[in-house]
Amino acid sequence: MRMYLAGQWVEKDHRIEVVNPFDGKAFETVPRAEAADVEKALQSAVQGARVMERLTGHERWRFLTRAAGLLAERSEDLARTITREEGKILSEARGEVGRAVETLTASAEEAKRVTGEGVPVDAAPGAKGKLAFTLRVPCGVVVAVTPFNFPLNLVAHKLGPALAGGNAVVLKPASDTPLSALKLVEVLLEAGAPAESVQCLTGPGGELGDLLVSDARVRKVTFTGSRDVGERICRRAGLKRVTMELGSNAPVVVLPDADLEEAAAAIARAGFSNAGQSCISAQRILGAQEIYADLVSSLTAKVRAIKAGDPFAEGTQVGPMVREREAARVQQWIGEAAAGGARVVAGGDRSGAVHAPTLVVDVKPEMRISDDELFGPAVGAASFGSLDEAIALCNRSRYGLSASIFTRDLDAAMRFLREVQSGNIHVNEGPAWRADVMPYGGLKDSGFGKEGPRYAVEEMTELKLAVIHLRS
């Protein structure tokens, strides 16, 4: 495929292979953008921002609504593209396309609601005869850097709200999964988005990203990815509006009164969908001592029953990781835990990029499989003695994106909601549950700012105050 730059689909002599994670074979190529392409994209985006800010909310609603319809019409092609380049099973890819349709639809609706409000300045002394109100205006040029794990919907979560808010966007998709993003750009343009409202540069993030986020013409940066890359972007962005959706190692607490079968089933869903490659995947399973053995027994059976393999094959429940080196890293972390005294009771092996769904028990908090973000198809379990201890274990992490608790005790649930340091908290469901309209974001090293179209539009616009000084 070609990349989209300055209103044109562009070829380059230097190209990057797009590889199918399951068989390791390249099946497509995309251009490798360079510094000169970044400059051209930013110049074009400045022009695009001028066009976008003059569009009415209705005009933005109209092309975003059309784009959502086109996505729905092309859902099977898009789902197969996601599976080929990212590796998630086909049913999950189809689900991702459906979510992207909803994300664009919600973004279109928000285009109608970009508004300010009256400010009662006459409540202040000396403000008689003053009329004040706010105006919400576009940031201008938005840079969006997206990850591989949801290569269509997470792009929609950035492009949709940015365009709904009247901005122009320079998109840098993950190098492993650029095709879904390029196809979304095609859809937006076909739906009527202005030619220079979006740019899509394919190529190495380290080279292109630094140039994009540090440029003074960029007023907003939105990034989803690892904590370390997010910190690097923040250091280079300077005085810009920044949204960071970063990593996590989501804990799941199971209290003695919980339904253990319900909890184990939810953990299996939350820990192994998309081969565990989600920043809100269940990773740290904390069971009360009284029920720990029964929870481990139930969860072991469920993990052993998960079928891994070809993501296009019927019956496959877990596909490959995005690259074999990531599967090797997961296997290494599991080996380190086992060497430190933990026990592997399900899985543990791999074939190429396909890592078997794995359950490791009696994990210590300082082990990497617990302390860092694993981002793979394995969960680690440990026991705790009291709710105080469980909350302390949850908060021990530098991350805080999602957490969950299973209990019938309302008081315990409310205490967990108040005291656990996490941006998303679930009661009687796994931490990976997400509705695309909800405010989604983390605390601590999991980032700052919120996604979800309504909240992202606020992040991608700025507030101006107007005061009219009346003479009478």
Q: And the tokens for 438?
A: 């909800």
3-state helix, strand, coil in the chain (%, to 5): 40, 25, 35
Asked if 285 contacts 381 with a C-beta cutoff of 8 angstroms, the reply is yes
Q: HSE on the CB side for 221, CA within 13 Å?
A: 31
CA–CA dist 352, 346 (Å, integer): 18
* Angle subtended at Cα 143 by Cα 399 and Cα 322, rounded to the nearest 5 degrees: 55
Residue 245 annotated in active site: yes
Residue with tokens 């029964």: 294
Residue 200 annotated in active site: no
CA–CA dist 30, 3 (Å, integer): 7
β-pair type (443-444, 399-400) = antiparallel
CA–CA dist 66, 100 (Å, integer): 13
Asked if 170 contacts 215 with a C-beta cutoff of 8 angstroms, the reply is no
Catalytic residue among 245, 324, 326, 459: 245
Q: Where are the alpha helices (DSSP H) in 16-89?
A: 35-54, 57-73, 75-86
Catalytic residue among 139, 200, 279, 394: 279
List, as one string, the DSSP characters of 437-456. Answer: TS-B--EETTEES-BSHHHH
Asked if 322 contacts 288 with a C-beta cutoff of 8 angstroms, the reply is no
Asked if 254 contacts 291 with a C-beta cutoff of 8 angstroms, the reply is yes
Largest CA distance in the chain: 81
Q: What residues act catalytically? A: 245, 279
